[in-house]
Structure 1
Amino acid sequence: MSKDSQMRAAINQKLIEMGERERLKEVLRAKLVECGWKDQLKAHCKDVIREKGLEHVTVEDLVTEVTPKGRALVPDSVKKELLQRIRAFLAQHATL
């Protein structure tokens, strides 16, 4: 395991232990709903299903098709805010 991977694992573990990961997920969900991301992705899913036909789309296919667009649609402001929150948490709990 590389040093980078070890650091990510340690940070993730600390976020989980302190309950911060769940808080961050809730903030992210709220921000994504607020900016219309959820509605945009829902519409994209409907388009994909309509295009391919309901009988010909599996959940796995839909996830594979929609994931890149979903990631691209996340506003930079939401990404930045989440990153700032993670950095603030790590600064407070710097004993990793």
Structure 2
Amino acid sequence: MRASINRPPTPDADEDREQKPTLQEVIHIKLIESGEKERLKELLRERLIECGWRDEMHALCRAFARKKGRQNVTVDELVHVITPKGRSSVPDAIKAELLQRIRTFLMNVHVD
């Protein structure tokens, strides 16, 4: 890189080339292109409803809103307060099922 005091560094010719996407980015693209990401999201939604997780989160949100006053609660604040509890309370069986589905997908897809 070449730089001066008055301007930001100018990339060298070697650095101008477009960088390859990371493995994580490639996998994410494959999940979207294949439609598997939407199927996984729908499966997660179904499982969370079946086990009562969704109702539990709904109750926590209502309790927080009542405690703080419905007019004094923002969506961002609610998300900030509820997210840690929500993530930690997802049943291990659901996490394992999703992980297995992702592994199966990765075994069957060619990643360059």
Residues 48 and 90, structure 2, Cα contact 8 Å, conserved in 1: yes
Runs of 4+ in 1 over 3 A off after TM superposition: none
Q: Pick 1 or 2: higher relative contact order, CA cutoff 8 A, min separation 6.
A: 1
> Counterpart in 2 of 1:80?
96
Structure 2: gaps of 5 or more residues: 1-20
**CA RMSD of superposed structures (Å):** 1.2
1:25 partner amino acid? K
Distance 2:67 2:29 in 1: 41
Higher helix share: 1
**Identity level (%):** 52
**Larger Rg, first or second structure (1 or 2):** 2
1:48 partner amino acid? F
1:69 counterpart SS class = helix
1:58 to 74, 78, 86: 74
Q: State the 1:10 CA deviation.
A: 1.2
Q: State the 1:6 CA deviation.
A: 1.8
